[in-house]
């Protein structure tokens, strides 16, 4: 859920098979900060963070298995959030 002033938007998760939940929150936070550092708005940063966390839990290495931003963007373009 993203609250930006009077606007409140639900940001759904991406459906993936969870293999290792270790570091999911860290991966989300990293993705969120990545977006903010690039000047993205809160909603775009949160959507990206959701994708990063989804990819992280789908890897045996958890947060250590998060791919580069370009792969996260490809993941987002290939599947809609649930």
Contact 7, 48 (CB under 8 A): no
| Catalytic, out of 11, 16, 26, 42 | 26
Active site residue 26: yes
Contact 54, 82 (CB under 8 A): no
- Residue 3 to residue 16: CA distance in whole angstroms: 25
Q: Which residues are catalytic?
A: 26
């Amino acid at each position: 859920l993203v609250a930006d002033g009077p606007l409140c938007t639900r940001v759904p998760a991406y459906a993936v098979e969870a293999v290792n939940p270790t570091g999911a929150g860290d991966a989300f936070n990293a993705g969120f900060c990545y977006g903010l550092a690039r000047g993205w708005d809160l909603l775009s940063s949160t959507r990206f963070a959701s994708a990063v966390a989804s990819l992280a839990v789908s890897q045996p290495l958890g947060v250590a298995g998060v791919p580069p931003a370009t792969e996260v963007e490809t993941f987002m373009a290939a599947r809609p959030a649930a």
